[in-house]
Structure 1
Amino acid sequence: MTDSLLSIEGFAADGFGSVREAFERAIATDTDTGAALSIWRDGELVVDLAGGRADSGAGLPFGVNTPSVIFSCTKGLASVLVARLVQDGLLDYDAPVVDYWPEYGAAGKSNTRVADALSHRAGLSAPRQDWTTEDLIDWDRATRLLAAQEPLFEPGSAWAYHAITHGWLAGELVRRVTGLLPGEYFERLISGPLAVDAWIGLPAARRGQVATMVVGETLATHVSSQQSDVRAGASVWPVRALTLGGALPLALVGPDEGFNRSDVQAAQIPGAGGISTAHGLAKIWSAVVTETDGVRLLSDETLHRASLVRSEGAPFFDSPAPWPRWGMGFQLDSEARRYLGESSLGHDGAGGQVAFGDPNERIGFAFVTNRMEAVDSRGTDIVAALKEAIS
């Protein structure tokens, strides 16, 4: 079903009208960009909406089947992969990383635990040496550089957001245990069985079908402010966490830059490079918390352990409150990122992406957008409408 006035495609089941209205408000001012929203409850699809444009230059609509870059929502997917290996007895959160990845012990990192690597406590949030795009898209080169690097602070002693590097830490653990790169394990464990359009490393056959990411006004202003702060003497490390010293633009995208580049989209970058439809991403989170199409990815016991708070409060490198909270790679409900409540776990992504599951409410949720903003309440407002609708 298509609403021609608002250019809304899809449906919202009875009882979710307020959620549809929140989505309509989220895209009401979009003339060149778009978004999609999908919600599953009790393993059934209850909301599937999309609207706006996926590529204003080509005039392509943003539909329910439009894949989009999900940025750090990919960390949530990588954390599901690791949690499943823990559940299957193949990986131990409390074990040293070197038990699985011996080379990682270089430069004072031998005591780093798997839990530290997942919860942003590894001290490798940014590279000491500048990376190139070639480093970024080469799995072996990226993991070798991180394994050799001296940490920025004592591992386990504090937290700092590993904006891009988190994915190689989690992903190399997956590779060492399974023999598969994380994108391959993801397809075998998750996207294949669930039959969803979601990838860590975009297949060549889907090249050119991904929504074009656009830097919005508030993100452009924020990037300019970050650059000015560094020039004025602020710590460079949070900026390097995003750019890797030159491999990516600070906004993460631009015209044929960063995650708009086809070679970057094809690479496996599980800290920020996942690509998915909202429909597929929400179905995955549904299967994390409740049986969906015959698939249940994590048990209640595993979810409980993975959701124990590992990192919260002020980070090692100063940043303004409110601050997020982290479990075993999963982002938890906090003042900085509101989900449905204490039982929710997931991960948001740069520019306004939001994806999570809630085992108490048996909800899988995903909102994706190609208009990237820094000051952005779109996803938060939709989650708030969902919370009211199910209360």
Structure 2
Amino acid sequence: MSRVGRFGARLVDVPASLAPVTAIAPGEAAPGATDLTPRAVDAVWRAVEDLYRSGAYPGIAFCLRRDGVTVLDRTLGHARGNGPDDPHDAERVLMTPDTPVCLFSASKAVTAILVHKLAEEGGIDLDAPVARYLPEFAGRGKARTTIAEVLSHRGGFPLFQAPDDDAPTETLLDWDRCIELICGAPPTHRRAPRMAYHAITGGFVLAEVIRRVTGGEFTDYLDSRLRRPLGMRHFTFGLPEGERDAVARNYTAGQPVRFPLTLAVKRALGAPFEEVVDISNHDAFMRAVVPAGNLYATAEELSRFYQMLLDEGEYEGRQVLSPATVRRAVKPAVRLRFDHTLMIPMRYSEGLMLGANPFGLYGPLSARAYGHLGFMNILGWADPSRRLAASLLVTGKALLGGHLVALGELLTTIAWQCR
């Protein structure tokens, strides 16, 4: 049964004992397989449990690699049936390490790496204008915008604005319509590129460049360059029909999103907060390909992706990306500065969100870390300083609430225990 917290927060029912809602993958390494002590590993897991106890997440999946060894690969809670608004008698299906979860904006990291791979193969020049490969993009003052600027959120078209007679969520699931609208829109800032997170728009443009240059589908390029070389089961944009029954359901949770945050969220995503959460659970969303927002993966798969980057593009003896490609992909493209979409200071590489000192997206003293955030509190990242690759997948979409304190404590615990 769900519960209501302070100030009307929508929370899930959390049992006194977490053992019945905990699942552990068989691939976890035995204690002592790395230089992390059992006590350090236990401290990290207790912090994950504390995050679950905040009540904002019906399901959590967490995976942590140290020196390439999986020390934690576990889930907590339910894939569906224990959401804040679910009826008391709803069937509860446990979350497991094999449960695919929508990564939302954490998907952008994968799209960006595919663009870097295409550059490695000689298909594109990252410093060339987008319009060289997508001619219709040049209209309305965007002729000089480069692929590198789009990757680092300086493309000048951060907002997705559908006409009033278009249904926002339906438009987001129509690839060709999105490309038409983005190419036909003027930049929001015509002078020097201004940093503003491209929540939806950049992904479509980058993926369309891949389609135009390769002559094939964006998903085929993902499959041949990353998914199959990394041995992934899921790791797809959208989900095949036969796998949709196993997917984790997304829920609106935490404090109600109120004005003026409602306007800021709608401005960035192109649709109201709760509408975005709702549409993500529909078959139409899982059939579609949204390059900035609907990659499905397990926590272990996302951690595996970042471990490959940490290993300079190598996976199980195979060079998936060249070391030079990885170095450019993770290199800072802009110093810490104000992001005009997210309304907070951010650091970006050409495609990834970077950590910061003294405290950043991936915890304290994380300036060398790189990864990406997903809607809301989904994280995948690598930290060369701590020799770790980690992922945190959550199904509660909570913008504000006490869970943020627990999230900060988890990131801090990982940072200190993995020194």
TM-score (normalised: structure 2): 0.81
Number of residue pairs aligned between Structure 1 and Structure 2: 371
Question: How many percent identity over aligned positions?
Answer: 27
* Shift in CA distance, 119/361, structure 1 to aligned 2, threshold 3 Å: same
Match of 2:308 among 287, 290, 300: 287
8 A Cα contact 1:288 1:296, kept in partner: no
Per the TM alignment, residue 380 of structure 1 is displaced from its structure 2 partner at its CA by: 4.1
- Give the distance between the partners of 1:107 and 1:186, measured in 2 at CA: 31
Question: What's 2:11 paired with?
Answer: none
Q: Deviations over 1:130-184 (max 9, x none)?
A: 3433322122221122112111112752011111112102211222222233322
- Give the distance between the partners of 2:321 and 2:384, measured in 1 at CA: 10
8 A Cα contact 2:200 2:292, kept in partner: yes
Question: What's 2:414 paired with?
Answer: 386
- Give the distance between the partners of 1:4 and 1:352, measured in 2 at CA: 21
Per the TM alignment, residue 26 of structure 1 is displaced from its structure 2 partner at its CA by: 1.4
Does the residue aligned with 1:72 lie in a helix, a strand or coil?
helix
Task: Structure 1: give runs of 5+ residues left out of the alignment.
Answer: 231-235
Q: CA RMSD in A?
A: 2.4
- Give the distance between the partners of 2:391 and 2:142, measured in 1 at CA: 36
Per the TM alignment, residue 332 of structure 1 is displaced from its structure 2 partner at its CA by: 0.5
1:315 and 2:333 equivalent?
A: no
1:64 and 2:97 equivalent?
A: yes
Q: Deviations over 1:263-295 (max 9, x none)?
A: 112211121112111111111111122233334
Question: What's 2:19 paired with?
Answer: 5
Question: What's 1:353 paired with?
Answer: 378
- Give the distance between the partners of 2:218 and 2:155, measured in 1 at CA: 20
1:302 and 2:316 equivalent?
A: no
Does the residue aligned with 2:284 lie in a helix, a strand or coil?
helix
Q: Deviations over 1:238-275 (max 9, x none)?
A: 632212xxxx4324544xx2212211122111211121
Per the TM alignment, residue 19 of structure 1 is displaced from its structure 2 partner at its CA by: 1.4
* Shift in CA distance, 49/309, structure 1 to aligned 2, threshold 3 Å: same
* Shift in CA distance, 155/264, structure 1 to aligned 2, threshold 3 Å: farther
- Give the distance between the partners of 1:87 and 1:343, measured in 2 at CA: 23
2:212 corresponds to which letter in structure 1? R
Q: Deviations over 1:53-85 (max 9, x none)?
A: 110133001111111111110011111111222
1:101 and 2:105 equivalent?
A: no
1:275 and 2:289 equivalent?
A: no
1:242 and 2:256 equivalent?
A: no
Question: What's 2:106 paired with?
Answer: 73
Q: Deviations over 1:80-105 (max 9, x none)?
A: 11122222332222111111111111
2:268 corresponds to which letter in structure 1? A
Task: Structure 2: give runs of 5+ residues left out of the alignment.
Answer: 1-16, 32-36, 82-89
Does the residue aligned with 2:103 lie in a helix, a strand or coil?
strand
Per the TM alignment, residue 371 of structure 1 is displaced from its structure 2 partner at its CA by: 1.2
Does the residue aligned with 2:91 lie in a helix, a strand or coil?
coil
Question: What's 2:351 paired with?
Answer: 329
Q: Which has the larger radius of gyration?
A: 2
- Give the distance between the partners of 1:80 and 1:63, measured in 2 at CA: 28
Match of 1:117 among 126, 150, 154: 150
2:231 corresponds to which letter in structure 1? A
Per the TM alignment, residue 362 of structure 1 is displaced from its structure 2 partner at its CA by: 4.0
1:217 and 2:254 equivalent?
A: yes
Q: Deviations over 1:352-381 (max 9, x none)?
A: 100012345443211001112223245543
Question: What's 2:388 paired with?
Answer: 363
8 A Cα contact 2:56 2:398, kept in partner: no
1:136 and 2:157 equivalent?
A: no
1:147 corresponds to which letter in structure 2? C
Match of 1:194 among 230, 254, 261: 230
Question: What's 1:33 paired with?
Answer: 58
Per the TM alignment, residue 127 of structure 1 is displaced from its structure 2 partner at its CA by: 3.1
- Give the distance between the partners of 2:217 and 2:188, measured in 1 at CA: 27
1:162 and 2:162 equivalent?
A: no
Does the residue aligned with 1:105 lie in a helix, a strand or coil?
helix
8 A Cα contact 2:57 2:394, kept in partner: no
* Shift in CA distance, 126/154, structure 1 to aligned 2, threshold 3 Å: same
- Give the distance between the partners of 1:301 and 1:65, measured in 2 at CA: 33
- Give the distance between the partners of 1:298 and 1:101, measured in 2 at CA: 25
